[in-house]
Amino acid sequence: MSETPAPPSLSARALAARPAPYLEGLNPAQRAAVEALEGPVLMLAGAGTGKTRALTARIAHLLSLGKARPNEILAVTFTNKAAREMKERLGRLLGESIEGLPWLGTFHAICVKLLRRHAELVGLKSNFTILDTDDQIRLLKQLILAENIDEKRWPARMLAGLIDGWKNRALTPEKVKGADAASFNNYGGELYTAYQARLRALNAVDFGDLLLHVVTIFQTHPDVLAQYQRWFRFILVDEYQDTNVAQYLWLRLLAQGHRNICCVGDDDQSIYGWRGAEVGNILRFEKDFPGATVIRLEQNYRSTEHILAAASGLIAANAGRLGKTLWTEAEGGAKVRLIGHWDGEEEARWIGDEVEAVQRGTRGADPVGLNGQAILVRASHQMRAFEDRFLTIGLPYRVIGGPRFYERQEIRDAMAYFRLAVSPEDDLAFERVVNVPKRGLGDKAVQTVQATAREDGTSLLEAARYVVASGRIGGKGAGQLRGFVEGVDRWHRAVRAGAPHEALAETILDESGYTAMWQADKSPEAPGRLENLKELIKALEQFENLQGFLEHVSLIMDNASEDAAEKVSIMTLHAAKGLEFPAVFLPGWEDGLFPSQRSMDEGGLKALEEERRLAYVGITRAEQLCTISFAGNRRVYGQWQSALPSRFIDELPAVHVEVLTPPGLYGGGYGAAARSAASSIEERAARADVYASPGWKRMQERAALRPMAQPRAARHMTIDLDAVSEFEPGARVFHQKFGYGTVLLTEGDKLSVAFDKAGEKKLLASFVVAASAADDVPF
């Protein structure tokens, strides 16, 4: 692609004299994308070709040419982490801190800000609360029950999924028609309407509303839209292939005026179809914006040759794609490594050792620090094995986007208190903590408050105030409820008066008795919970006020720990989009887990292609070392399962793959299995031989000797441990803590045992031994 000359403006001449640092090293196509400032631009290119880098340089160019002020640039990234990184990169490029890019962030973060400014246009107040999934489900449950629908058959989660889907498609309740409205036992549309009304009454929104409301405002208030069309003079969007309909409409509305919109993406990396993303959006760009400049990049700067070739070979199996050629100057390097393990624990053990080996530089490459290494999993339940193993060997790690700190009970309770202090009418927060710690309020007292609120159309707090004053409830509970109401009033006044928020947060937890509740608790978890509460107060430091903090928490999709210490990262493949690491581990490549059986059951071939794109995203995160592994047995939600190596392993071009033989007695079998799987690209039929290998047979013999999964050449076989359990009802067993007991019932791998001293317990069979053997067990 030839270089497009910059317009000969004064500042451009100045730039030509001393090339701007952000233009240095860009290839001609990237430079063209940076310099084509006016009009629509689409950069459609493969992984690691420098799309994000060019997009960042474009912002730097706009700023340094004075084409736009920082607040006139709207830049959308996919995660908060990506937004942070882009800000840092810009700071480095421009040699100054760029505090002033207020509109660089995720769709959600940007929409929160817009909605706070115009909340009244959709019937909300500007201090609306953002509900998390838990609150949302609770609310939906109430509505389902109110309709007398059997929540067991028609669960709230299912309704939440439907509503989310409609919001992703920018459908307000009025627009949900036909089969959609008739879904959920005919109540879909009706419940959606009721839910939106209830949210409005609570002055609350859910995640999907953030976009939906803003799109609605833009569609119904042309004056507001026009104001932002003028305001955001340049629009830039990263990872455009993953926008859903609502996001697409939002962008199109904003860009219609000046048409200065630059979108970058890769159709091969579209991985959010399951959440409503439409890869068609990127393919339609030239139709939406006629005359668009389309730029394709082909040089990959991230990965070495074999890694890139393996990824390209894999994605070639997808039918619905534009198809691109990628090349790299980084010739040679390590092949993609493939290794098979007996089970998930062994895989975690091996990866733990390997991370340390890579860190020491004993893997034929330069040493790679922990920050440069990542483990990318398909399903978050895979993370636990790694966390456990790394804790055991003292390997520092961070989990990104995993089970989050903010989802723990004590944190959610504390946050409910903070939410009440900020918005006293937050009924969900009120319900959560009115009796935590116990305030002597029985169900009846709470029902009285709820009924009063319904009758009077007020918030629960107001209702509680009235109920206490009018003596509708009496006794000890009344006094404590009065104390609670007065507390919330006091805290709210303090928030409004701008009291220092960290001190206030601590006061709230003390005055409410919440901290004391955990101090008095003698359970083993209590000290940890108190630690977490301290952490929470610490986290507040970085924010200006409580509201800013609450907003942040509702928005974080990734909880990358901020400290600079070297740590290996564990995250899902979805969370790894756009990132890069010198060394990447991709565990769990087994059919059923990856590609995910659940996705394929729901989405068929389309879903399989999305899974393959996810594999492509995974491999292309690696710069120098990419290691794929699979295990023959895995414990998933308490059940042993055995599986075949992933079909994606078959699809990797064998010449770019090196098969490793795992250490240990039984590993050889999987080494052979892996070798056979990898080399079978031409001889797929030979794959069946995997299960005829001597190693595999040895493992079968071993499996027969112990109560464990029986590997079989069948897909997704769930093995019931009961079949091999030695315990029958009536058997005498011994448990380390509970002592001797008698088995009452066996249920899968669980037992009900009547212990002689400790009473009846349910536990995993593997935690007890036969009573006769108890003397021999070295506990």
Tell me whether residue 239 is one of the annotated catalytic residues.
yes
Find the part of the chain contacting ligand ATP (CB under 6 A) among 26-34, 363-371, 696-704, 728-736.
26-34
Give min distance, CB of 272 to ligand ATP, in A: 14
Tell me whether residue 49 is one of the annotated catalytic residues.
no
Count other Cβ atoms within 10 Å, centred on residue 405: 16
Question: Is 19 among the residues that bind ligand ATP (CB under 6 A)?
Answer: no
Whose Cβ is closer to ligand ATP: residue 229's or residue 304's?
A: 304
Kindly write down the DSSP assignment for every residue of 432-449, as one continuous string. HHTTSS--S--HHHHHHH
Question: Is 624 among the residues that bind ligand ATP (CB under 6 A)?
Answer: no
Kindly write down the DSSP assignment for every residue of 350-394, as one continuous string. HHHHHHHHHHHT-SSS----GGGEEEEESSGGGHHHHHHHHHHHT
Give min distance, CB of 238 to Mg ion, in A: 6
Phi and psi at 548, nearest 5°, equal -60, -40
Question: Is 27 among the residues that bind ligand ATP (CB under 6 A)?
Answer: yes
Whose Cβ is closer to Mg ion: residue 551's or residue 623's?
A: 623
Set 52, 77, 452, 572: catalytic member: 52
Set 35, 206, 239, 268: catalytic member: 239
Whose Cβ is closer to ligand ATP: residue 46's or residue 402's?
A: 46
Minimal CB distance residue for ligand ATP: 50
Burial of 654 (0-12, 13-18, 19+ CB in 10 A): buried
Q: Give residue 316's Cα distance to chain centre.
A: 27
Rounded Cα gap, residues 325 and 580, in angstroms: 20
Tell me whether residue 52 is one of the annotated catalytic residues.
yes
Region class of 636: left (phi > 0), else alpha (psi between -120 and 50), else beta: beta
Tell me whether residue 621 is one of the annotated catalytic residues.
yes
- The residue from 32, 35, 36, 52 that contacts ligand ATP (CB under 6 A) is 52
- Using CB under 5 A as the binding rule, the residues of this chain from 39 to 98 that contact Mg ion are 51-52
Residue 193 one-letter amino acid: T
Matching residue, tokens 């937890």: 509
25 binds, among Mg ion, ligand ATP, none (CB under 5 to 8 A by kind): ligand ATP
CA pseudo-torsion sign 8, 13, 17, 18: negative
Question: Is 578 among the residues that bind Mg ion (CB under 5 A)?
Answer: yes
In the chain, count H helices and then E strands. 30, 22
Find the part of the chain contacting Mg ion (CB under 5 A) among 1-9, 273-281, 326-334, 571-579.
571-579
Whose Cβ is closer to ligand ATP: residue 48's or residue 352's?
A: 48
**Is 235:260 a contact under the CB 8 Å cutoff?**
yes
Find the part of the chain contacting ligand ATP (CB under 6 A) among 44-52, 219-227, 414-422, 454-462.
44-52
Count other Cβ atoms within 10 Å, centred on residue 343: 19
- The residue from 32, 35, 44, 51 that contacts ligand ATP (CB under 6 A) is 51
Give min distance, CB of 245 to Mg ion, in A: 22
Question: Is 634 among the residues that bind ligand ATP (CB under 6 A)?
Answer: no
Query: What is the SS3 assignment for 485?
Result: helix
Give min distance, CB of 51 to ligand ATP, in A: 3
Matching residue, tokens 């409205």: 181
Whose Cβ is closer to Mg ion: residue 51's or residue 647's?
A: 51
Give min distance, CB of 82 to Mg ion, in A: 8
27 binds, among ligand ATP, Mg ion, none (CB under 5 to 8 A by kind): ligand ATP
* Sheet with 732-735, edge to edge strand ranges: 759-764, 750-755, 739-747, 732-735, 768-770
Set 238, 242, 278, 651: catalytic member: 238
Q: Any idea of the CA torsion for 148, 154, 155, 156, to the nearest 10 degrees? A: -60
- The residue from 578, 667, 669, 711 that contacts ligand ATP (CB under 6 A) is 578
Question: Is 302 among the residues that bind ligand ATP (CB under 6 A)?
Answer: yes
Rounded Cα gap, residues 746 and 760, in angstroms: 13
Whose Cβ is closer to ligand ATP: residue 61's or residue 735's?
A: 61
CA pseudo-torsion sign 288, 291, 295, 296: positive
Set 324, 335, 621, 634: catalytic member: 621
Tell me whether residue 116 is one of the annotated catalytic residues.
no
**Is 572:380 a contact under the CB 8 Å cutoff?**
yes
Query: What is the SS3 assignment for 482?
Result: helix
Rounded Cα gap, residues 762 and 779, in angstroms: 20
Question: Is 371 among the residues that bind ligand ATP (CB under 6 A)?
Answer: no
Matching residue, tokens 């609350």: 204
Binding mask 253-272 for ligand ATP (x = CB under 6 A): -------------x--x---
- The residue from 149, 216, 256, 301 that contacts ligand ATP (CB under 6 A) is 301
Rounded Cα gap, residues 482 and 388, in angstroms: 46
Residues near ligand ATP (CB under 6 A) are 25-27, 30, 47-53, 266, 269, 301-302, 578, 580, 620
Residues near Mg ion (CB under 5 A) are 51-52, 578
Show which residues are catalytic. 51-52, 238-239, 269, 621
